[in-house]
A = this chain, B = another copy of it.
């Protein structure tokens, strides 16, 4: 029987790359996305297409409501635009969604146990955008320690390992890695505030980081901008 992995897939380029890494590692991949009333819901159609073109076995979307508290799920908080890369790295940004990765990983954990999957892949990254506490190696390590005592599968001796292959990579390295693994970025979306056609704004922190990284990598960004 082939080994299985749950891959958290946001629709962005990091998680598409994590999917590429899981495939390259020989896993049967089951992708998992979330509809949490995010401003950038266009990413869900990207996740669906990205799953399909990379031969994921299936793609599930879990829907839930969040409690606000972020520019990404509260329409009264504005997405910052036009900041320099230096300005972004200082503090936890308003696009931080309280405990988002903890919620995402917890659903992945449940799904992994139901599937009998031994791995969870997430594209979290601590380098280019270090403001999110739940993207740091220290957090992932603590999460793994919790997993090891949390489920029937893990307490009975079968592992569920949380893999973060991109956590120490720069965005440029991520794009190069994905390209080397034939990851197709044409159906990824990084923008926090896309228009009604899904076209990226090119001005939010996430777009600016993506644009700068593609430019530096010498690889063409295949997505349309407004």
* Chain B CB within 10 Å, residue with most, of A101, A110, A134, A136: A110
Does A109 have its Cβ within 8 Å of any Cβ on chain B?
Answer: yes
Measured between beta carbons, the chain B residues less than 8 angstroms from A1 are none
- Looking at A48-56, A150-158, A197-205, the stretch in contact with chain B turns out to be A150-158
Known contacts A151-B134, A152-B92, A152-B96: A68-B146 contact under CB 8 Å: no
Task: Select which of B66, B138, B142, B146 is within 8 A of A110 by beta carbon.
Answer: B66
Does A145 have its Cβ within 8 Å of any Cβ on chain B?
Answer: yes
- Looking at A39-47, A57-65, A171-179, A207-215, the stretch in contact with chain B turns out to be A57-65
Does A193 have its Cβ within 8 Å of any Cβ on chain B?
Answer: no
Measured between beta carbons, the chain B residues less than 8 angstroms from A142 are 142, 145-146, 148-150
Measured between beta carbons, the chain B residues less than 8 angstroms from A145 are 142, 145-146
A64 lies within 8 A of B62 (CB): yes
Task: Select which of B64, B110, B133 is within 8 A of A152 by beta carbon.
Answer: B133
A63 to B97 Cα, complex, angstroms:
18
Measured between beta carbons, the chain B residues less than 8 angstroms from A155 are 133
Task: Select which of B102, B114, B115 is within 8 A of A146 by beta carbon.
Answer: B102
A114 lies within 8 A of B67 (CB): yes
A64 lies within 8 A of B63 (CB): yes
**Which residues of A, 84-111, contact B by the 8 Å Cβ criterion?**
92, 96-103, 105-107, 109-111
Measured between beta carbons, the chain B residues less than 8 angstroms from A118 are none
A positions within 8 Å CB-CB of B: 60, 62-69, 92, 96-103, 105-107, 109-111, 113-115, 133-134, 136, 138-139, 142-143, 145-146, 148-152, 154-156
Q: List, sorted by A's number, 5 A–B pairs whose CB atoms are closer than 8 Å.
A: A69-B110, A98-B111, A99-B151, A101-B150, A139-B146
